[in-house]
Structure 1
């Protein structure tokens, strides 16, 4: 590292794939005295949060809110739909669906795993084969992530529904949208998703601490036979509370709710979810354009080769031998930007985790923020002597200009 004085002093930018940048308005909404949790403004406000959560997920069905992170949402989805000894089909495209399956196994559920590796999306033909082989319909649920934040792959969730329907298989379709809700386009009802889980800390622009499980009536019917459900994780009283206290099976996450209300105002009422999707799509294409030009004369490679299979919320990149760590260190020390570390064996057999970094472009981000990250990355490659096509930033600028 150079002994040149750092240029990082100033407002630091956390460009990791979650927790995302929190809007000042959200933080200011949370900075207030504790409210009454039994009557008054908080109770009235939460009643309005539920319809806006449904609007983001594009569903008319149920939503249960929890004081938890994404792993809590995983457990809630599993325990409300499954019993010990049930079988599920786990479709691994990175660390997180595999982790969801491991949780199910620890709960006494049999997980049939198809691991598609660290560079690929779900192969629907292989899923069709697995469903066809399940002639007794022992598989109760199919678990997938729409976006795996370790690999940055985006899976074809409506394609999974078509595959299940073609096989005439009754399994629930369960989608993990923790990394991508309110970033990548998602239509829960239109796509035939039965259960969807997410968290507050990424596209929903609220600090970590809240988790959400969206579920339809078919999934709720599975609750009738589920022997894993417990009092705390039971989604029924949360989705249809007879009193406010039951929304959270105890004290509400009061200040998170004020922040979430403001975030939903920004997403649903002000920008609009379609415009949010468009913004993320353009910013993602700007990132990809820069990476692809840099890679024309150097080692830089997006982890997912096919643009159509890349997430609009996070991009995992191989910068070449050891260069991922070198770039992360330089960006923090010299540019005031923190990038994401690699997760979950993304390097693959014979690879090196130090080659990789992850760029978060989710939530409260705009053109100048993304261009700042890309300009800093280009400066870092020049400073560290990493070969690269010299006009990557210009390629990103062109994408932004075209909108």
Structure 2
């Protein structure tokens, strides 16, 4: 039957900032028969992944694994540590910070939402000033998104921890690492985070389906004292079952096989090397965008995301039309602008199971798409990115 739809060969380029490309090794690891999740074989797997997660979060404390999305892990962090009527301080860094704020309000949490322009991360100075004003310690938690996937802005978590301490405030510190874990430097223990929220489909290189809470001793104490109703998300019952490698309900067994392999891959490369690779690719991408004479949404050089770059479209040009032209012609998916920046930005994902040649293919697709969509730009972005990558390689070879 005749069709006007384009026929594409080769692999689809999935360059959204998550879900990311799943490595063949992980797919093969998940290709296992269903086993008894109450049996000894599964218990061994359970203990291995629970211990491996501690390495990725860089914590000695428990990491809870849920069969859930990141949204479920958001909810788990709230219902285990906060009670109805509690007050929290959050920062408006983008679409996902806004969604977490909305979710908290559904549990009758009073949210003070520090306004932002979606081009900067959470301000440590602003947070410290507000906490100093709260002499009665009515604010029970500070909640921040580490990497705002909608904007390509990364907040400075270690600096925010220092701000909380500088104010002498006892608030819990809850951090969303849904898009940053396993791709951007993160230290749950060293940075004094009480609950770290994450999920499987970004830096962990898995399909969607697993949510995580890494928790501190202070968070565990809060969970014992709080009055929020919860059952499925309750840490205590899960931790009890985890001691023997099990869960109090049916876990996502085959996803855990994939998680074990993904952790092995991160350990083989070395987390510090993983972080350095993402920084290189981000620098090369920004060089391309600047060579195209387009504007990067993130304004602070210290807050550029290592895992995605959000690019502003010139006035009068629609980002979604450009994305559609690129998809139709080159079979490449780019991230859409969300809510406040819908149609105004496109997002280039460069995270997870990714290398230099994949990045160059991505940037070539963007540059060709800009030309076909008649978006005003200068040529040469791909060449600029190659200069960053080859320059970094040459420097490494000389050292």
Decide: shared fold, TM above 0.5.
yes
How many Å apart are 1:7 and its aligned residue?
7.3
Helix, strand or coil at the partner of 1:80 = helix
Tell me the alpha carbon deviations over residues 27-72 of structure 1, each in whole angstroms, 9 at most, x when there is no partner: 1111221112111322101201122211111111111110110110
1:258-277 matches, within 5 Å, as: 258-268=257-267, 270-277=268-275
Range with greater deviation from structure 2 (198-207 or 305-314): 305-314
Q: State the match for 1:168 in structure 2.
A: 168
Do 1:10 and 1:336's aligned partners in 2 also have CA atoms closer than 8 Å?
no
Q: Which runs of 5+ in 2 are unaligned?
A: 394-399
Q: State the match for 1:40 in structure 2.
A: 40
Distance 1:307 1:5, change over 3 A: farther
How many Å apart are 1:125 and its aligned residue?
2.2
Do 1:197 and 1:212's aligned partners in 2 also have CA atoms closer than 8 Å?
yes
Do 1:315 and 1:360's aligned partners in 2 also have CA atoms closer than 8 Å?
yes
Query: Following the alignment from structure 2 to structure 1, what is the Cα–Cα distance between the partners of residues 379 and 113?
Result: 43
Whether 1:326 and 2:321 are equivalent positions in the alignment is: yes
Do 2:47 and 2:244's aligned partners in 1 also have CA atoms closer than 8 Å?
no
Whether 1:375 and 2:369 are equivalent positions in the alignment is: no
Residue among 341, 361, 370 paired with 2:350: 361
Residue among 336, 339, 347 paired with 1:341: 336
Range with greater deviation from structure 2 (73-82 or 53-62): 53-62
Q: State the match for 1:397 in structure 2.
A: 386
Root-mean-square deviation (CA), in Å?
A: 1.8
Do 1:6 and 1:335's aligned partners in 2 also have CA atoms closer than 8 Å?
no
- For these two proteins, the number of residue pairs brought into alignment is 389
Do 2:173 and 2:193's aligned partners in 1 also have CA atoms closer than 8 Å?
yes
1:149-298 matches, within 5 Å, as: 149-241=149-241, 247=247, 249-268=248-267, 270-295=268-293
Do 1:37 and 1:43's aligned partners in 2 also have CA atoms closer than 8 Å?
yes
Tell me the alpha carbon deviations over residues 13-40 of structure 1, each in whole angstroms, 9 at most, x when there is no partner: 1111111000111111112211121113
How many Å apart are 1:244 and its aligned residue?
5.0
Distance 1:174 1:155, change over 3 A: same
Distance 1:108 1:55, change over 3 A: same
Q: State the match for 1:87 in structure 2.
A: 87
Query: Following the alignment from structure 2 to structure 1, what is the Cα–Cα distance between the partners of residues 4 and 233?
Result: 53
Query: Following the alignment from structure 1 to structure 2, what is the Cα–Cα distance between the partners of residues 308 and 160?
Result: 14
Query: Following the alignment from structure 2 to structure 1, what is the Cα–Cα distance between the partners of residues 124 and 35?
Result: 49
Query: Following the alignment from structure 2 to structure 1, what is the Cα–Cα distance between the partners of residues 334 and 69?
Result: 21
Query: Following the alignment from structure 2 to structure 1, what is the Cα–Cα distance between the partners of residues 194 and 174?
Result: 6
Helix, strand or coil at the partner of 1:113 = strand
How many Å apart are 1:242 and its aligned residue?
6.2
Distance 1:328 1:222, change over 3 A: same
Query: Following the alignment from structure 1 to structure 2, what is the Cα–Cα distance between the partners of residues 87 and 134?
Result: 11
Q: Which runs of 5+ in 1 are unaligned?
A: 348-352
Range with greater deviation from structure 2 (172-181 or 4-13): 4-13
How many Å apart are 1:284 and its aligned residue?
0.9
Do 1:323 and 1:355's aligned partners in 2 also have CA atoms closer than 8 Å?
yes
How many Å apart are 1:194 and its aligned residue?
1.1
